[in-house]
Chain A
């Protein structure tokens, strides 16, 4: 990695701030209870009857997102942590989508017009990360590594100072059978 000859006062404290770890767990772990509904009568004419049984277990999941990450100076590829599918109990055919819904510029903390272009990528470090899906088949503990990619040219053009960016991840749950 070619370093710029220009002395940089970049202290190496290039931070990408992401929102606080987002742990989302839908109300789960309990089965709802409800009193009996309409009754039916068994008589000399109608000797048999059926009672319909039902139960429900709510879906739940926990996705962990890195709280913050630090990019080392002059690194063209820096791991910023992983999205982790820590827990999940999903309904049939349902899935959780984690989307990078917004990323701010990596901007100088004093002069915000100074920015360093960067791209958040997945494990392959070349494709821009947009979203990942976890479904019923996803094993708990599954990780989705993320990296911050900055070209060497952009490093060399960067002005000295501290820079900061914020990544926002949005989590959504989809049950295609809802309402059926």
Chain B
């Protein structure tokens, strides 16, 4: 700030300039203060202000699926579990089948004879499933799957004609699962 002052007499342009700068600065500071803080001056009618505190907790979860399942001529069950669930109230951690399922059945191919395939039904309870079925669902902080979910059942494999009299040999297949953090209705389940 430049000032030119004569002894005993103030320079009016300099003072005005300085005041302008101060005003700009104060205006700027005021503008700045309006975003981050509330200024309360002496003499203002409102002498209280609030400070809002917020903290976002990122949803987190760990769902566990078996790496391998060996099928049988009898039903085989498979559990989908969770070791950690931290979800918002209107959300669920849902697991769906994302691959390997066709018309409710998984496919296995015969080793050294991949042209021959067998098919095993995959069910949730007594119901067939598809790619939209939440085969496991968890909410909030509960690592226990919601009722009616979490336990899948593989039925006995059969050939393309539905016969359980399949050819001898070893068979392999894959079923893929995908987990998603999903907004659900306010009723929750």
Tell me which residues from 143 to 176 in chain A have a Cβ below 8 Å from any Cβ of chain B: none
Does any Cβ of B come within 8 Å of A6's Cβ? Answer: no
Q: Given that A55-B71, A90-B168 are known contacts, is A43 also in contact with B61, CB under 8 Å in the complex?
A: yes
The count of chain B contact residues (Cβ–Cβ below 8 Å) is 52
A-B contact count (CB 8 A): 152
Q: Given that A31-B156, A53-B106, A91-B168 are known contacts, is A42 also in contact with B63, CB under 8 Å in the complex?
A: yes
Complex contact A38–B70 (CB within 8 A): no
Does any Cβ of B come within 8 Å of A37's Cβ? Answer: yes
Partner of B171, one of A43, A56, A58, A59: A56
Question: What is the distance, in angstroms, from B170's C-beta to the closest C-beta of chain A?
Answer: 5
Q: Interface centre among A37, A91, A94, by most B CB within 10 Å?
A: A91
Complex contact A38–B68 (CB within 8 A): yes
Q: Given that A51-B65, A53-B106, A55-B157 are known contacts, is A42 also in contact with B71, CB under 8 Å in the complex?
A: no
The count of chain A contact residues (Cβ–Cβ below 8 Å) is 36
Q: Given that A28-B168, A47-B180 are known contacts, is A41 also in contact with B66, CB under 8 Å in the complex?
A: no
Complex contact A36–B177 (CB within 8 A): no
Q: Collect the chain A residues with CB atoms within 8 Å of residue B180's CB.
A: 47
Q: Classify the interface of chain B: helix, strand, loop or mixed.
A: strand
Complex CA distance for A59 and B180, rounded to whole angstroms: 43
Complex contact B179–A37 (CB within 8 A): no
Tell me which residues from 119 to 144 in chain A have a Cβ below 8 Å from any Cβ of chain B: none
Q: Collect the chain B residues with CB atoms within 8 Å of residue A36's CB.
A: 66-69, 78-79
Complex contact B67–A37 (CB within 8 A): yes
Q: Collect the chain B residues with CB atoms within 8 Å of residue A32's CB.
A: 70, 72
Q: Which residues of B contact A (CB under 8 A)?
A: 58-74, 76, 78-79, 83, 95, 98-100, 106, 108, 110-113, 118, 120, 154, 156-157, 166-181
A-B contacts, 5 of them at CB < 8 A, read A33-B71, A36-B66, A40-B64, A50-B175, A59-B168
